[in-house]
Structure 1
């Protein structure tokens, strides 16, 4: 029985002759050029997990029950970041889990900024129009504004750094608010969001999906934001009360919202969300950049190097843990 690693060193034996299944057929062709020829691994590609024939499994999300009964499996590497689906998928608690959380950091931080600028510079009012008024604009400055960044993990911290460089005043929102986030003018606790919201000019959500973050940006937080506030979500959809957000936008209460994650994906073309005024619906693409698949493959190999050297894998993800408990 494999023992999950949480700290210290990893056993260096048993990681040199591996069957690796890429259960991510859309990304697999872009992973293969980096992985092919790597010593000590045999690659197999499939759309789903169909048999217990792999030591290592690489994939994004797994439907309920799809990982149950995989007795041979020792290591799961996620091409994304979220682990909230693994319990329902039936993953054994002793399987080693790593993820690709470091890969999209720059892309998502830049996309969050793009969303914010889209709203502050009234870009939706210009797209596809030839009758936009000349020499007049309702655009506002990002510089000098106070921007709350809810979630100060890798992406949130990268966004704080960029906001500060652009002259904004980033306020980091963390679970306890006790450890100052570098670059932020203040760090506040998540349970202070509603009380602090009136002092934010804008709010960007970079929150992971956990039981603790579900609905964290609720109706009370959104209602407390000033009428000129812009809201951006590049985290998880369930961390924001989207019904409350839509209601405020319909009432003209906020400047606008830019949302890259949604309660159901992909959204149907006739979904009512498309008609919400001043809501920019982005089709979950913040993570994307041309080199993403190659970086995911390199991340897998870097963690394999760690295992073979007897080190704890650099992208080890606690499993099971409070974060992904159902």
Structure 2
């Protein structure tokens, strides 16, 4: 017998809960309960009474929302970010696993698509903008130099795709000490500003956390050439958004594609909608039709590890420190 053989599992997720329960229903030793509501979730406010789940599955949790939740030994996140857990009041002894392997392909494809949208000048065409025949402001990704911030699963997937397209790739990690196999070069974050003038594009793939705040800083943005483009599919906190807006307004950057934002959803009157050259994406890079089933499979893989007495394969680990990879 294992301590993990029989579990009461609370599933709390505004958009995926029912699909997750359908995928997990009938699995041996799992008793499932659902709390649905807005994200970030607040399971304590849902009025659970004396219910003490052994495990919780969820996406994001609001400040203080986990402080009064008794019982859980394990939290499995349907996403990748863990920076919200400390403010939520998660106990230090709770095991945290993530679904970080699930969205890798989807996010990597989306990041490259965002770069193509900018470099091929497609945003205006997609909106129905008319232009003179045979005219284009398109540039080549092949032969360009692209810096990718972060070399975790998603960052490495982006790097491999860019390399296959003929781009010269630069991986940006915490200290640059360990070469990233998927990149032509690897540098440390401290050297990014000095390298910025040689970059044609920057793609952010960083998690949140104190070590990554404003990794794409005002100084780095100022150092980029005027033809450079910026794509961010990591955390919004990793980019100095106001400095980015200023650079776009002043024509010091050619364009930006942001899938993540300081406020979400963006209000209708938010300044981002009016920034020239900025393409606003509604935080959807990770979505694909098989996502709920893949998240459920990740949960079950980690449960199988625990039942076998092994360390779960998707334990948060370095993510808790906001590492650059």
Bigger relative CO (Cα 8 Å, ≥ 6 apart): 1
Aligned residue for 2:144?
145
Alignment of structure 1 residues 230-309 onto 2, 5 Å: 230-309=229-308
Aligned residue for 1:7?
none
Once the two structures are TM-superposed, the CA of residue 321 in structure 1 deviates from its matched residue by: 4.9
Rounded Cα–Cα distance in structure 2 between residues aligned with 1:191 and 1:128: 39
5+ long unaligned stretches in structure 2: 37-41
Aligned residue for 1:49?
43
5+ long unaligned stretches in structure 1: 1-11
Once the two structures are TM-superposed, the CA of residue 127 in structure 1 deviates from its matched residue by: 2.2
Aligned residue for 2:28?
39
Q: Is 1:67 aligned to residue 66 of structure 2? A: yes
Rounded Cα–Cα distance in structure 1 between residues aligned with 2:4 and 2:293: 22
Structure 1 outlier segments of 4+, above 6 Å: none
TM-score (norm 1): 0.93
Once the two structures are TM-superposed, the CA of residue 303 in structure 1 deviates from its matched residue by: 0.4
TM-score (norm 2): 0.93
SS at match of 1:94: coil
Once the two structures are TM-superposed, the CA of residue 319 in structure 1 deviates from its matched residue by: 8.8
Decide whether aligned partners of structure 1 residues 320 and 110 sit closer, same or farther in structure 2, where only a CA change above 3 A counts.
closer
Aligned residue for 2:160?
161
Rounded Cα–Cα distance in structure 1 between residues aligned with 2:246 and 2:69: 45
Assess if the C-alpha contact under 8 Å between 1:96 and 1:319 holds in 2: no
Deviations 1:33-75 (A, max 9, x none): 2201100001100124233421010101111221113331111
**Number of residue pairs matched?**
313
Once the two structures are TM-superposed, the CA of residue 94 in structure 1 deviates from its matched residue by: 0.5
Once the two structures are TM-superposed, the CA of residue 125 in structure 1 deviates from its matched residue by: 2.0
Aligned residue for 2:189?
190
SS at match of 1:34: helix
Rounded Cα–Cα distance in structure 2 between residues aligned with 1:74 and 1:244: 42
Once the two structures are TM-superposed, the CA of residue 30 in structure 1 deviates from its matched residue by: 1.4
Decide whether aligned partners of structure 1 residues 58 and 197 sit closer, same or farther in structure 2, where only a CA change above 3 A counts.
same
Q: Is 1:28 aligned to residue 17 of structure 2? A: yes
Rounded Cα–Cα distance in structure 2 between residues aligned with 1:320 and 1:90: 17
